[in-house]
Chain A
Amino acid sequence: MVTPTIAPGSWEAAERELGYRRGGPINIGWYCSDRLCELGLGGTTALRWEDHQGAEKVYTYDQLRTRTNAFAQWLRSLGIKPGERVCLFMDRVPELYLGFLAILKMGGIAQPLFSAFGEESLWTRLDNAGTAAIVTQKKHVLKVRKIRDKLPELKHVIVVDAAPGTLKGDEVALAMDALPALETFDVYPSTAETPSVLHYTSGTTGQPKGAQHVHYSLISQYLTSRVVLDLKPGDVYWCNADPGWVTGTSYGIIGPWACGVTQVVLDSGFQADKWYAFLQKHRVSVWYSAPTAIRLLMREGAELVKKFDLSSLRHLCSVGEPLNAEAVIWSQEVFGRPFHDTFWQTESGCIVITNLPGMAVRPGSMGKPFPGIEATVLDPRTYQPYDGPGRVGLIALRPGWPSMMRSYWKNPTAYQNKFKNGWYLCGDRASIDPDGYFWFVGRDDDVINTGGHLVGPFEIESALLEHPAVAESAAVAKPDPINMEVVKAFVTLKPGFEPSSDLELEIMNAIRKKLSPLAMPQEIEFIAALPKTRSGKIVRRILRAREFGEPEGDVSTVMEE
């Protein structure tokens, strides 16, 4: 494990602003609720939530404090102990946001998971984490029931919206808003290195890995929220990301609430006019979105934007995958300001390369390293930084910023493999121009970035092989105008099965249900044989290169028969 060090300057400033003293207690749950009340913001709206039917709930910081106290006390009374993993498996309902803080307040490790995960994706992550409790909704508990027998460490299944008589076995109902507000709670005295959040992320090989973060991550998340997202007192802030992914926690819960701003949440699928109406209705001033969403909005046209008063927007940011130049230029035209691209990942915990407010945005560029982050591009042969600009290499960060992951859960080898020559490797390729701007080129591995979410080919291929018709499979990225990349699967069939559109759809739906909609191949190509090395290993890079129209590279050891 790399011991974090503090970069000179910015991180210490954030510590001072937050009143944190080295070696003292630091609990994200307290900092995002109680501290704001101590600063006199108890009456300020912390969360304004709305669902697709227009139902609303509003919580002030004081209500956030007393309700998370009550939620935390309730979890503690169940017997959940500090350090145990508590999974949040919900749509974007208030219980997800408040539950996250409550888990941290009672010393648990919050493990948010995307609610669209199918039972196999869910099981993989709960099993690896040894999760002790899961907080979910009645529509998602059905998936939990299917795998409960295979999860001996899962002691508590908590349903936040259970109708009377609908629970099974030892499942427990919790109506969060019905819990009496709790004025005082003995917040767990976590310190800087106390584990806080476990976020799963996919790699090229093996099953997803749990990036484990600590309470000290707050320092980075607070400072980048204030500086990069430009959050100021009085702001109304909307982050489009689901807290099942790291953006939705670092910048959909921790950062903005540590800054004391009003967050708005829309628990609804995408629809351009509804999004614009939401921005208008809540007078959103800072909007953190994603390239996929921006491209979907672009597709709906500029005329639609003119029907809404979006004059409240002051600052726009984007994350997930590289923001194309056209999207930056379009946003300047229709919103009167550009989206600012930000680059980071589950493991970094905070924005590390970015276009800061006021910085000249070069459309298509990732921007520059955040002050306090040392970033470079390494020669992939030597793992040394290039001497001059313009050459494509591996994006690398000098370890030691506060929110860097501290380990992969139960996988120290994978963690160690992320470091070379004293640099942390992000797994992405880029170049740096003479003025220090980074320009994204692509992934350095076989991971598929679809709509800003990383999907591992191994997990998809394993699920494909469970289908009775599939003999062998390879999952690769395919370019897509909206999602940047989507999953494409190459499949060979077992004897007795013939390629057909019916079979393709059947396999697509099987993967969607087992894993998630993100992992579902949007195209399946049935082929006679997959390209393999002489030792029998499937060579995904050739299939990927064909999809992207790129050179296939060295094929001297590859066989396709």
Chain B
Amino acid sequence: MSDNQDLVNNIKDGNNFNQENKAEVYQADNGMKINIMDQEGANLATEALRGQGSITRGPNTVPQQPPHGEDNPKYKSMGGDRPSLPTAPGESFNDKDYRNPDNRNNSNLGPTEVSSTMSASLGNMDVRSKELREEDSHKTERDNYNNKYNPGMTNTSKFGGSDALARQDELKKELTKETPTKPFFDLEFGSDEDDGKKPRDLHQEALDSNAKANEGFDPKSKLSNTGRSFFENEDVHGENAKLREDIEDLRMQIAELTKKFDDPNALQDALDPNRPRPLNPLEEVQTTLLKEEDERQRKFAQDVENERKLHDPLYQAVPVTPEVPPVTPEVPPTTPEQDKKLRDFKTAALIAGVVAGGAAGILGGAAVGGAVAATAGVISIGGRITNHFLGRSLTRIEAQIKNPETDSETKANLERRKTNLQKIQNVVQHITKFATGAALGAGISTFISNVAMGGHGLVWNRPEVPGGLPGVNPEAGIGKAGLEKPVGGGETPLPASPETYPGNSFIHDGRVDLPGSAWDGNWANGPAQDTLAGGAENFANYAGGPSEMAASQLGQDLASNNITDQLLTNLTTYDKHRLLTQYWDAIRAGNANPELIETLKNMNTEGAQKLLAAIGK
């Protein structure tokens, strides 16, 4: 059955190939397609295919073309049953057959009207074709791949590509032909045969070359002479390179370390043996901790000793070795700015302590303590407190010295001035620490102003009442001034009387006897003079200041309350130390007559409670 008959049958049976634009598309086995919109179109198509009518598209009627028979000129021009195919590039059937107008038998076909869809399709063909090419990602990818991996390769290349696969046998032959039949060396440098000389024994040459390279090689040793020399040199070179690197590192370190001394003044300052050393906060902490640790150890040893005294029948007192006073590390001098900062912190800490004290046991938690500290810090650090005191004179002098316009004579004067100021600064710093430490037993404020001590300071006091105050016995000493004080009750308190009081081993003979405490050995005499107002109630009249007055008054109070050694065993060394300190604090705060009972109650330690109970308080 011919293709046309099949198509006709399909049209009649409605076996359309596809539907497109509301038309049925029928396709013959030879690929020809017919679009049919309606029954009329179907009839026309079948008639045309059967050669019985003409195809009508719209208003235009195309005359039916008879099928090409063997006598058809075009059929003949194409070679009939032996068609002549194009033989040259660019030649086509049309070029061959239709260049001659006589062969253009379709020239009488005339214009054909097509549907609007087809018109649009034909009109946009070029554009669409271009778009399709652009959309041909596969082709783009392929081209990219080829450009990347087969640069310069074309389909007509001799090697590679699908062409190569198809022609592999042929290529194999070609390659076989090109394979050198001579040894590679001969190909490169020519053979002896070419020179007409005796052929070279390449194998022997290779052996000779190896033997030369291995000259001196002992199979039992690891390396030949050359090898050993190579590695020996390599080690030397390696060591040299490492040394050079080390030298370079050192040079850079020296440059870095001396960079800050490029300035001659900086170098001079650095070499100054009296330069202030930066404050190391750890040293202060260490000093405090060492002191506390010593105290704890002494207390522990004392407790052990007491326990043995009470419970060990074989106990014998260990001979007391002279106690070596603890060596306090020398605190390096600090700058005024560092001192100022530290004072601000201390002030803020004091304020924070007050804030915490009023905030219901606030120090119980670190977070709360931190908040309190932050509060005090916000208020006081960097605030108004005495910022106007910050150092300026030294800074100004140093600036003048560094000023290049300052002449040498002025510079020398300024240097002397600077040195003197620094000396004063350092000495005052030393005195401050000396005064606030245990050495003098008094705060620095006691040396400054009588107003600070409620009018009882040392510095600005002048003798006011040479004879002292009425009613105050300038000769009053331990156990004398307190005779009028009431005697406490308790188990065995004796009447307060200098005759009956046997004294105690805590404060006696004008000294504090308290091993393990900073108070140990401090003076405890009565006032050395009564030339200042207040007499015995003015610590300025005591040679040892408020610390001596504190010890003296405590001694009197112990006597007046008939606190004997037996009762004092209720107190630990720490209790006694604290008792003295509380007296000292009270005196410095302006209370010239601290009360023993009240002080013990304030202490509220176990020992203090025992003692109070023992004396019935």
Q: Do A and B bind each other?
A: no
